């Protein structure tokens, strides 16, 4: 799926919001001791990996735009 820069920016904004939510401790523990289970709504490592990927894609689009290309560029 090819995304425009605006679409990538929207995704990046959503992932940054998700990162903040996870950093605010969106997890909880059920039970005590050896039977306790920790549940997490999202995985911070996965969120950060996607943020890095989107930033890279935006950088590639910006670099292409800086070279004077007139037609829209898409990243796959």
Q: Read off the pLDDT of residues 16-62 as tens digits, 9 standing for 90 and up.
A: 888 887 787 766 777 777 778 877 767 788 889 999 999 999 999 99
- CA–CA distance, 11 with 58 (Å, rounded to integer): 11
Q: How far is residue 75 from each of residues 5, 27, 59, measured CA to CA in Å?
A: 9, 34, 11
Predicted TM-score (pTM) of this structure: 0.57
3-state secondary structure at position 37: strand
Q: Where are the beta strands (DSSP E) in the chain?
A: 27-30, 37-40
- CA–CA distance, 69 with 34 (Å, rounded to integer): 60
């Amino acid at each position: 799926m090819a995304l425009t820069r605006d679409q990538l920016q929207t995704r990046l904004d959503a992932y940054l919001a998700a990162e903040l939510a996870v950093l605010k401790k969106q997890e909880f523990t059920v039970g005590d001791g050896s039977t306790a289970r920790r549940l997490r709504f999202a995985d911070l490592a996965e969120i950060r990996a996607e943020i890095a990927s989107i930033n890279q894609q935006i950088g590639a689009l910006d670099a292409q735009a800086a070279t004077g290309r007139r037609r829209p560029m898409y990243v796959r």
